[in-house]
Every structure is written in structure tokens, then in C-alpha cells.
Amino acid sequence: MSKTNVLTIRVPADLKNRIAQAAEYQGVSINQLAMYMFAKEIGNIEAGQFISNFWKGHSKSDILSDFDEVMAKAKDEQPPAWDKLEG
């Protein structure tokens, strides 16, 4: 396990209560819930940055054109039974 550090944050009382309730509902400590939420949000931010950097220099029309090209290749393909919506 990696070395841990202490991070102290100040939050409004209402938010702390909501965090405590969510942690209790999940059956984990406030610390465990906070670590999960921080890690998840950091991952989302990093993914957004990766996508933004990946498409940097491409116009919206370039991106949509590439998407349409890929979709055109699969237009006659039917999804497998497990991937169909039941109605």
C-alpha cells in the first residue's frame, strides 16, 4: 500500500451531514467514501483532459465526419440479441 497523507478540508455543515448520511447508507466510513469520491472525480477530470487533448486541433465537423464514416461501416449490422432493448 502506498504511503498515506492527511488532508483536512473545510466543508459546510450541511454538506458534511450529507456525506455522513451517504457513507452510512453505503456502509462505509466518511473517509472511505471521500477517498472513493475524490478518486472517481479525479479520474473523470483526467479522462476529460485526455479526450480534449486527443481531439485538440480537430474541428467538430472533422470529428462528426469520422464518426459518420465508422457508423456507415456498421449500418447493416444487427446488434446481438443480448444488446437489444426489450420493448
**Domain regions of the chain by residue span:** 13-75
Q: Which pTM does this prediction carry?
A: 0.61
Evaluate if residue 75 carries a pLDDT over 80.
Answer: no
- Residue with more model confidence, 4 or 13: 13
| pLDDT on residue 29 | 96
Contacts with 36 (C-beta within 8 Å, 6 or more apart), sequence order: 28
Least confident of 44-48, 59-63, 83-87: 83-87
The Cα 58–Cα 71 span in angstroms is 19
Evaluate if residue 76 carries a pLDDT over 90.
Answer: no
| pLDDT on residue 1 | 60
